[in-house]
């Protein structure tokens, strides 16, 4: 049933946005001593190799995280020349949110380079304190096995649980968490058209059970009615629950034009994505105001690249 494998997409521009924000959310939520429960409803395999066959085949990391690293840290790896503005910002220092993201990645590559890319489970686990808990849902038979094996190597004991179950329906079991502090990352593959409605239904129920949790939903911005509607539906849900929200988006290229990379024509691929956060920390919007224009400059693939940042309910 599932053909999506995140290994093909690890480190793409969607991951850059999602993981940079995830780190910022965790930094804020771990400032208070009270235990935090993190629930990743769609966890993937946990850890990826950017020098492996999957990543090489898709080259998505080359147009994502490897671009940032090649400019900022001279990491090895394919570099795609920017086709956009002459002001590419190549010499600019990364904003604090992006610097934290790049430093976190460097922590997974202690010998230098960028061959290991951490997925959300490994990023979260790295930033947890002993009192915190991590619940990981992953349904793909191969990826859930790989995830379980990767997590076992961390010897994290009871702190991390891997569940081979549907994350959409499994989330409710953990809400509200005992300490009444939770971060939920909902990052489906959107392989099924029904995923869009499932995200909205999941968030509606979660907000009823636990309105003060922090919820981060990643979504693709693609020319498809369900995708177009999703951020609007999420806003309505947050507004009805009386909760503040933030919606950040990053577009790297037009959704219509075929792209030419180093002279060769490529399939268009993901043009843009967004992250919708309910109950964001107050520090997130200013951090993104600095980071998003940099991501546009560094990751632009054509002149349609731009970012968006909206907030409500504050």
- Nearer residue to ligand SAM within complex by CB, 4 or 108: 4
* String of DSSP letters for 158-225: GGEEEE-S-HHHHGGGG-S-TTS-EEEEE-----STHHHHHHHHHHHHHHHH-TTSEEEEEEE--SSH
Whole-angstrom distance, CA of residue 314 vs CA of residue 77: 42
Task: List active site positions.
Answer: 187
Name the 3-class secondary structure at 246. Answer: strand
Binding ligand SAM (rule: CB under 6 A), the pick from 12, 29, 38, 42 is 42
Q: Which stretch binds ligand SAM (CB under 6 A): 135-143, 176-184, 292-300, 306-314?
A: 135-143
Name the 3-class secondary structure at 266. Answer: strand
Binding ligand SAM (rule: CB under 6 A), the pick from 24, 102, 124, 139 is 139
Binding ligand SAM (rule: CB under 6 A), the pick from 54, 168, 174, 196 is 168
- Nearer residue to ligand SAM within complex by CB, 137 or 245: 137
Rounded to 5 degrees, what are φ and ψ at 39? -120, 120
Binding ligand SAM (rule: CB under 6 A), the pick from 44, 64, 94, 231 is 44
Name the 3-class secondary structure at 301. Answer: coil
Residue 249, C-beta contacts closer than 8 angstroms, at least 6 positions apart: 221, 231, 272, 273, 274, 275, 307, 308, 309
In the bound state, the residue with its beta carbon closest to ligand SAM is 119
- Applying the rule CB under 6 A, the residues between 175 and 204 that interact with ligand SAM are 187-189
- Applying the rule CB under 6 A, the residues between 86 and 125 that interact with ligand SAM are 119-120
Binding ligand SAM (rule: CB under 6 A), the pick from 133, 140, 181, 243 is 140
- Applying the rule CB under 6 A, the residues between 21 and 40 that interact with ligand SAM are 40
Burial class (CB in 10 A: 0-12, 13-18, 19+), 244: middle
Binding ligand SAM (rule: CB under 6 A), the pick from 84, 138, 243, 274 is 138
Whole-angstrom distance, CA of residue 311 vs CA of residue 235: 9
Compute the least distance from the CB of residue 40 to ligand SAM, in Å. 6
- Nearer residue to ligand SAM within complex by CB, 241 or 271: 271
249 token code pair: 């988006």
Compute the least distance from the CB of residue 167 to ligand SAM, in Å. 4
Q: How many residues bind ligand SAM, per CB under 6 A?
A: 21
Rounded to 5 degrees, what are φ and ψ at 166? -70, 120
Q: Is 205 in the site for ligand SAM (CB under 6 A)?
A: no
Farthest-apart Cα atoms in the chain, separation:
55
CA-based torsion, 48, 194, 304, 281: positive or negative:
negative
- Nearer residue to ligand SAM within complex by CB, 25 or 241: 25
Compute the least distance from the CB of residue 291 to ligand SAM, in Å. 18
Compute the least distance from the CB of residue 6 to ligand SAM, in Å. 4
Tell me which residue of 274, 275, 216, 205 sits closest to 241, measured CA to CA: 205
96 token code pair: 């604090």
Compute the least distance from the CB of residue 54 to ligand SAM, in Å. 12
Q: Which stretch binds ligand SAM (CB under 6 A): 105-113, 134-142, 292-300, 304-312?
A: 134-142
Residue 157, C-beta contacts closer than 8 angstroms, at least 6 positions apart: none
Tell me which residue of 178, 158, 129 sits closest to 30, measured CA to CA: 129
Binding ligand SAM (rule: CB under 6 A), the pick from 2, 76, 85, 112 is 2
Q: How far apart are the first and last CA of the chain?
A: 41
Residues that bind ligand SAM (CB under 6 A): 2, 4, 6, 18, 40, 42-44, 119-120, 137-140, 143, 166-168, 187-189
């Amino acid at each position: 049933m599932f053909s999506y494998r995140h290994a093909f997409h690890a480190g793409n521009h969607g991951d850059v946005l999602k993981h940079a924000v995830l780190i910022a959310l965790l930094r804020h939520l771990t400032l208070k001593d009270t235990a935090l429960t993190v629930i990743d409803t769609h966890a993937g395999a946990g850890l990826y190799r950017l020098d492996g066959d999957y990543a090489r085949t898709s080259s998505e990391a080359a147009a994502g995280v490897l671009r940032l690293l090649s400019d900022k840290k001279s990491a090895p790896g394919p570099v795609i020349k920017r086709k956009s503005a002459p002001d590419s910002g190549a010499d600019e220092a990364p904003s604090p949110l992006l610097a934290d993201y790049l430093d976190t990645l460097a922590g997974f590559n202690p010998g230098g380079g960028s061959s290991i890319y951490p997925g959300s489970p490994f990023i979260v686990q790295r930033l947890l304190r002993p009192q915190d808990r991590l619940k990981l849902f992953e349904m793909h038979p191969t990826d859930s096995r790989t995830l379980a094996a990767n997590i076992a190597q961390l010897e994290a004991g009871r702190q991390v649980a891997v569940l081979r179950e549907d994350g959409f329906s499994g989330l409710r079991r953990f809400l509200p968490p005992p300490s009444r502090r939770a971060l939920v990352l909902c990052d489906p593959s959107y392989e099924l058209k029904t995923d869009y409605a499932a995200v909205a239904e999941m968030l509606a129920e979660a907000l009823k059970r636990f309105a003060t949790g922090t919820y981060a939903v990643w979504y693709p911005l693609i020319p498809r009615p369900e995708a177009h509607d999703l951020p609007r539906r999420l806003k309505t849900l947050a507004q009805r629950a009386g909760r503040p929200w933030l919606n950040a988006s990053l577009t790297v290229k037009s959704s219509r034009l075929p792209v030419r990379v180093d002279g060769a024509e490529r399939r268009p691929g993901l043009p843009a994505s967004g992250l919708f956060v309910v109950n964001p920390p107050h520090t997130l919007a200013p951090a993104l105001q600095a980071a998003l224009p940099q991501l546009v400059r560094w990751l632009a693939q054509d002149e349609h690249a731009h970012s968006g940042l909206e907030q409500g309910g504050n």
